[in-house]
A and B are shown apart, each in its own frame.
Chain A
């Protein structure tokens, strides 16, 4: 009976393969639920599903295998039960776990006929990409964001890998914009989140909130002459946290420092205000005396979308500090979470007080939650369409009809376009210099070898940027063991600068990630970051990082739509990602954002973890 669910119009060889094909679905979120349903109703009967997440109320508008009573439970487990309820004969195995965990090595991946990604973050996508390359298993990538989505087939030696095209870095703002000269609401929101972390969160020196006297634009200002600026460019050496503790988190003292004294200090940096409207400091007394309609905060959407008057911001500043201070007792630090009402209220109040001071538009708590929490809108229909395409492509992958597995883009209908689903014309060929799937992967790393420690190199460069999980690193030609994935072997190196181990300009490192079966050669270039430049940069062979010209020409004259968006993203909101940016293209305002450089000609772009748009 199961076998009759296999579509009759498929080729015989595919029809035979479907009932026994072993499928891994990575992610049981919006796309994952739809993919599981499509698999189960297409005759697939050997499925494994892995997801680390638990179910949240805000998932239920699209993750239809879950219901209210499942909130808090494992997505993978509940999805499995839901599919078994439809058809108890399907063999389905659920893992409530992270796919990047060491248990899921190359041999785990080798068991599958095809892997279907339904993920919501770039790090996990990169990892699964590498595992599938190492195991030589075909991968179908997919992602949605709002009305847009994408499906991409990836196979070693046949197509591009997920990392062949460089992706723009996460959106960040110059420190001096955040600390000295905000001009947009988002600058105030970022500042307010930093303030939360300074007062209650984990220490992060990159999140200073006090005036930055090292701002080059302020050079020559009076303030610089009056105050001894420190190496780090901060006004005082006592950390914000220590100072707050000394005042026992006094709401009035904290308010006056951040919104009056620090602003007065900024005003003394006169050069900053020659071509800008100077900020207007506000004291606790003035803020609480502000006129404003008396109101209660309530949780319905309409009031969530209202902008709080100043007196209310001050009141909420005060009350949230009281609550957060109590939460901090017995804890080392708090972690900011968009779904924590108190933390969100604190950020909303602080961002708006700062916006008021700098004459920037104030925002509602609703809007601030979107921006501060990097929320990506997500709907059932988009996920259903993309998941349908995923399984249709899976049929072709099983048949090894790879030439028919072009990427397909879902685009929002607009009056300017009659295309809703736009397939590419060709399979994208691999970038020969991709630092992941090339024969001999190579990447250049630009880093200050005198400043960066081995530990920082491991966590920031190798893990966070190059997405390795457990690298071993040797300094080539010297045989120096720099980093070991075995505990205890190289801890002694952790706090040493790179140069202390002999890593200098022109050094070559050999990095090996055993789990990912990934060997990478790293060329080191010494680089001293200018102010507001990133501390380090990475680069494959730069001439190869340009948009894929060859494909551009091939597709160029034909279907405009096929050349558009090129990235895939997620289907949920995650904080490890980027920033949602408003679309720029007037012709098609909805197609907004992308994590991947557009490979072909101009117009739009789209996506889901979200990112600022690039220029065409």
Chain B
């Protein structure tokens, strides 16, 4: 089987998606080498979706061990997995999702990784990291021209944040030719269309800029829209301090701590009280599977867009509203 041409077996397997994004995208996916950091609730969803899409290889990096709690949120595990390294425990089910993808598991600590580890990936997908880790890895990605996306789920809330650097992509713009008239005098609804490939570019701010240098000059309407951005920032900051996500087992303490961070934000960023209500903090506990399903779908779709250079990607943050389930793109950091 040549490197370039998809086999008949692949064509059959990927038929329904090739009919959506085209053979060029499928060939690019087939050449993509993806690093996934963190294979917990959200990570397992991302892994599932990108394995199914037909990438070349997936490296799963996670030093954690399967606990009962992990088991409840990860369909790639089963009861026998408890006590095993999580990255190794997911392997058999992950591989079964797509036998054509080369999967590598890595259970060494993230702290041991040098830039040489990251440089050969097409894209790096990170979950569960701290601000410092995100910024460091992103900066390495920038040096080596590797695309980067991260995301997390906190209770009913979830986000994704991308740095695709200077990202070139195309969309197939479809238009109808001049309307013909059918012989009965009615305008014909022609099914013949003209497809044009439209090239476009997006420049992404670094993760550092997106997380730390958000424009504090944003006013009124825009600032209201950013409530969920500040929630995202708050939750990552909580993780930075505590080395973990907010937990139901220490709910009262964690809530108090998050409220304190919120109060700082209200001051520092001059956010109106009603634009960042404390109530939402009650919803950020646990890694809820249906939310992982949504955010994992979003992140994986962004990976597919990044790798295939087709379709407009989210630029640069996706925020899921925990009350309405509205999902919007916000541009922060440029």
Contact = CB atoms under 8 A, between A and B. Distances in A.
Contacts of A146: 20
B328 A299 contact: no
Contact of B16 (A375, A387, A415): A375
A144 to B, nearest CB: 11
B293 A388 contact: yes
Nearest to A406: B324
A302 B5 contact: yes
Contacts of A420: 298, 314, 318, 327-329
A421 B313 contact: no
A40 B72 CA distance: 9
B296 A58 contact: no
Contacts of A299: 8, 11
B15 A58 contact: yes
B184 A532 contact: yes
A380 B326 contact: no
Contacts of A67: 96
B223 interface: no
Contacts of B175: 586, 589
Interface in A21-40: 34, 37-38, 40
B219 to A, nearest CB: 18
A285 interface: no
Contacts of B97: 64
A60 B312 contact: no
Contacts of A302: 5-6, 23
Interface in A561-616: 573, 579, 581-584, 586, 589, 612-613
A376 B17 CA distance: 9
Interface string B95-113: 0110100000000000000
Given A4-B72, A61-B13, A589 B52 contact: no
Contact of A9 (B73, B174, B282, B324): B282
A113 B175 CA distance: 46
A1 B327 CA distance: 32
Given A61-B54, A415-B200, A421-B327, A388 B297 contact: yes
Nearest to A36: B75
Nearest to B68: A1
Interface in B57-97: 68-69, 72-73, 75, 77-79, 96-97
Contacts of A300: 5-8, 11
A357 interface: no
A41 B290 CA distance: 8
Interface in B1-23: 5-8, 10-20, 23
B288 A7 contact: yes
A361 B195 CA distance: 14
Contact of B300 (A380, A392, A418): A380
B289 A38 contact: yes
B201 to A, nearest CB: 11
B301 interface: yes
Nearest to B195: A582
A8 interface: yes
A29 B262 CA distance: 43
A583 to B, nearest CB: 6
Interface stretch (B136-144, B186-194, B264-272): B186-194
A583 B325 contact: no
Q: Say what secondary structure dominates the interface of chain B.
A: mixed
A427 to B, nearest CB: 13
B334 interface: no
Given A9-B155, A423-B326, A181 B183 contact: yes
Contacts of B283: 9
A557 interface: no
A413 B13 contact: no
B286 interface: yes
Contacts of B52: 60-62, 64, 380
A377 B19 contact: yes
A612 B191 contact: yes
Contact of B172 (A42, A382, A383, A589): A589
A384 B293 contact: yes
Nearest to A67: B96
Contacts of B172: 589
Given A64-B48, A381-B297, A384-B49, A392 B290 contact: yes
Contacts of B290: 38, 42, 387-392
Interface in A376-415: 376-385, 387-392, 408, 412-415
Interface in A154-193: 174, 176-177, 181, 183-186
Contact of A41 (B69, B72, B282, B320): B72
B222 to A, nearest CB: 12
B312 A414 contact: yes
A174 B329 contact: no
Contacts of A380: 48-49, 52-53, 297, 300
From A37, A174, A177, A421, name the one whose CB has the most chain B CB atoms within 10 angstroms.
A421
B16 A41 contact: no
A384 B286 contact: no
13 contacts: A7-B155, A34-B293, A57-B12, A60-B52, A147-B20, A217-B183, A300-B11, A380-B48, A384-B45, A384-B48, A387-B293, A388-B292, A586-B173
Given A37-B293, A60-B13, A384-B48, 6 more contacts: A61-B14, A61-B16, A64-B48, A85-B78, A375-B15, A380-B300
